[in-house]
Structure 1
Amino acid sequence: MKTHKEYLDLMLDGLENTKDKTPNSFSYDVLSAAGILFVEFARRFEELARKFDVDNLEGFELEKRVFQITGLKRKQATYARGLIKITGTVGTVIDEGKIFQTELGEEFRTLERAVIGDKGEIDVKVEALRIGPFGDVDKNTIKISKDYIKGIESVTNPADFTNGYGQESDDDLRERYYSYLQDPPKAGNPAHYRLWAEEVDGVGYAKVYRTWKGPSTVKVVIIDIERKGASSDLVEKVRKHIMEEAPIHWENLTVVSAKEKPIDVAGKIEVRNGYSKSEVIENIKEKITAYLAEVAFKKSYVSFAKVAHAILESEGLVDFDDLRINGTYDNIDLADEEVAVLGQVKLD
């Protein structure tokens, strides 16, 4: 982009009806003022031109551009939901909106009014108060009734909560945009089934297998937005959504979660002064998890070298030795329907 002086010099060079082009002359001052506007106009034109490239967009601007061209919408975060089991006095009423929480303080609200029956217990639907993966808690961790309710003796969640998902990132939305343009969905082709599956909130990626069990059969394998195996709830949401869109019979459609393949890491590490070993190990876990997310449903193996590189990039690490992945010093192969997830990390 030209500077103010460059615009001014161009205009002065093209001025032929006067010889006085010195500073403070009429011609110089008028063209200097115009040059300031030209610089601002050029800046705005350059900014506008950049916005035609989705690689330069983020947030709402990216969402709007992608939607205008393809109709794709950003996948939104979801609230974790599940059942809690409440035991207590027969006839005790638990109103909708009552708050229960884990020992760590993660809160859930009841979604319905319930009454403890003759068995002295009842299952109640609850939803996390915070949106996203914060509500994904292990079983038997929701133990506290924040609101005092006379007649309640105990509360727990018999199963893990696994259906709280984060919002789709700019990079993931941009990737779906390019996939849509480069492999257009049409007439129920595999790209069409992948589109239907991947537009469901909480889904990361999908693989599609046509005629996998004979003519007119379709198998869709999904992972969640965290690049892990999908919950049964998410699998069912995808199945129902595809059935609403696709010209296919129920019996010919199969939707399953990818199988998680644990990646166990072992070895020896040297920690930098000022860091604890546990702190560095957590940093290593984050780096390896990020790498595994990058290769999920994109690579057929986990690279030993890339895992080593992720470890080396971890904050607080000086060096490592005798690194093993799943007990070997080699790459780890992944089957078509497998997704690699971080398993045990034993670093002495």
Structure 2
Amino acid sequence: MYEDRTFDAIMQELLDEVPAEVDKREGSIVYVALAPAAAKIETLYQRMDADYRLSHAQTSSGAELRALGADFGLDPKAATPAIRKGLFKDDQNAPFDVPIGSTFSTSGLNFTVTEKLAAGDFKLQCETAGTTGNIPSGALLPQDYINGLATATLTSVLVPGEDEESDDEYRVRYFAQVRTPPTSGNRAAYRKWALEMPGIGDAYVQPNWNGPNTVKVFLLGPDKLPASAGSVQAVKDYIDPNIGLGEGMGEGQAPAGAVVTTVSAPTVAINVSATVVLSGSRTLAQVKTDFTAALIAHLASIAYSQDRSMKFARLGTILLDTPGVQDYDTSKLLLNGGTANVQVPAGSVAVIGAVTLT
């Protein structure tokens, strides 16, 4: 906003106020006397510009952005720990029940047993919050001796851990809150409630999907892929738990009478085949890796957007923008076996399928 308020511009304005007959050349007494003031004024304008940017959600960041959201009751999401599944067996390879609260370690991380799912099958929570708890798998080592335990294995992710919400992620929720205010159980309210839960990156709400007072919420994870089963259940329990007298009783965030179903987003596979002309700077394998990554990023960017279809023309652009690709055979570029756009139904998400480059 104040890009033109530089030291040189300010200095010239100050010198213009000095009578012409006075020596105003650089190094003169007048110049030396005015220079510190001009530098301070430039710093002031820089601070004003920074404050101006921090006062608007589009350009704000950090604590200032979250302060803007606090005015609308929008709390930031803290980092959350991963919830994992662990399998435990004795020396006869039979399921073995370990004590609730026992701790196991792998890859420098500790996991605490929190709940029994079945014989020898338990939930474990990572002691370190964030996405780091989603990564390891395989053998677990008990921190304390457990008599009779032979093997302990860390397997699937039940609820993915999340890092502290980034500025961009918080900004998305801020604009959703401000531009489509959630009120009285409208669609925006259901989306807001879903986004408040760990492991949820976006939500699509379908009212009256199975008759009056029924709501279906389709859910994506932070990576804009279908949400995990644990996250889907957590959203259900938060919005409309099936407890006491059952669903639709207003025991959660949803108003009484609304029966809510939460599901992981159905997928539409995006299959691509093409014949490319390489520039010589990269191998075909490298080109395929980079193209696949670019296509995945594009699919994430259009997930649950107003126009979520995969455009055939866009596919060609992504291919040409891939390092190492000089050109491609337009007659052999195929999207799901054809040359038409691929439509993605509401609530569904496009995901990468088979990628074949020759």
Report the TM-score, using the length of structure 2 for normalisation: 0.78
The count of residues paired between Structure 1 and Structure 2 equals: 332
For residue 108 of structure 1, report the CA deviation from its aligned partner. Answer: 5.8
Matches within 5 A, 1:95-244: 96-99=102-105, 101=106, 109-111=111-113, 122-128=120-126, 131-136=129-134, 142-146=137-141, 151-156=148-153, 160-161=156-157, 163-167=159-163, 168-243=165-240, 244=252
Distance (whole Å) between structure 2 residues aligned to residue 6 and residue 142 of structure 1: 61
The C-alpha deviation readout for 1:128-174, integer Å capped at 9, x for no partner, is 5665455546xxx94424459675444445x6325324444433322
Report the TM-score, using the length of structure 1 for normalisation: 0.80
Q: Which runs of 5+ in 2 are unaligned?
A: 241-251
Distance (whole Å) between structure 2 residues aligned to residue 98 and residue 77 of structure 1: 21
Please give the secondary structure, in 1, of the residue aligned with 2:74.
coil
Please give the secondary structure, in 1, of the residue aligned with 2:231.
helix
Distance (whole Å) between structure 1 residues aligned to residue 275 and residue 133 of structure 2: 34
Greater mean deviation of Cα atoms: 227-236 or 20-29: 20-29
Aligned to 2:309: 301
Distance (whole Å) between structure 2 residues aligned to residue 266 and residue 8 of structure 1: 62
For residue 227 of structure 1, report the CA deviation from its aligned partner. Answer: 0.8
The C-alpha deviation readout for 1:270-306, integer Å capped at 9, x for no partner, is 4443534333222111101000001101124111222
Contact 1:77–1:164 (8 Å) recurs in 2:
no
Pair 92,33 (structure 1): closer, same or farther in 2 beyond 3 Å: closer
Distance (whole Å) between structure 2 residues aligned to residue 160 and residue 113 of structure 1: 15
Aligned letter for 1:34? Answer: A
Aligned letter for 1:197? Answer: A
Contact 1:108–1:126 (8 Å) recurs in 2:
no
Pair 76,33 (structure 1): closer, same or farther in 2 beyond 3 Å: closer
Distance (whole Å) between structure 2 residues aligned to residue 113 and residue 166 of structure 1: 21
Greater mean deviation of Cα atoms: 200-209 or 168-177: 168-177
Pairing partner for 2:37 from 18, 34, 39: 34
Distance (whole Å) between structure 2 residues aligned to residue 176 and residue 269 of structure 1: 40
Greater mean deviation of Cα atoms: 203-212 or 2-11: 2-11
The C-alpha deviation readout for 1:89-125, integer Å capped at 9, x for no partner, is 48896772222x5xxx6966242599xxxx9x72233
1:335 is the counterpart of 2:333: no
Contact 1:78–1:163 (8 Å) recurs in 2:
no
Pairing partner for 2:76 from 74, 85, 104: 74
Contact 1:165–1:202 (8 Å) recurs in 2:
yes
1:317 is the counterpart of 2:318: no
Pair 285,26 (structure 1): closer, same or farther in 2 beyond 3 Å: closer
Contact 1:134–1:164 (8 Å) recurs in 2:
no
Please give the secondary structure, in 1, of the residue aligned with 2:157.
coil
Aligned letter for 2:181? Answer: P
For residue 7 of structure 1, report the CA deviation from its aligned partner. Answer: 3.1
CA RMSD of aligned residues (A): 3.4
Aligned to 1:278: 285
Distance (whole Å) between structure 2 residues aligned to residue 92 and residue 301 of structure 1: 48
Contact 2:220–2:226 (8 Å) recurs in 1:
yes
For residue 307 of structure 1, report the CA deviation from its aligned partner. Answer: 2.3
Please give the secondary structure, in 1, of the residue aligned with 2:275.
strand
Please give the secondary structure, in 2, of the residue aligned with 1:275.
coil
Pairing partner for 1:260 from 260, 267, 272: 267
The C-alpha deviation readout for 1:76-96, integer Å capped at 9, x for no partner, is 443332322221148896772
Please give the secondary structure, in 1, of the residue aligned with 2:268.
strand
**Identity, % of aligned positions:** 27
The C-alpha deviation readout for 1:15-55, integer Å capped at 9, x for no partner, is 57x96454577655544433232222222222222222222
Aligned to 2:10: 7
1:346 is the counterpart of 2:352: no
Pairing partner for 1:63 from 36, 61, 66: 66
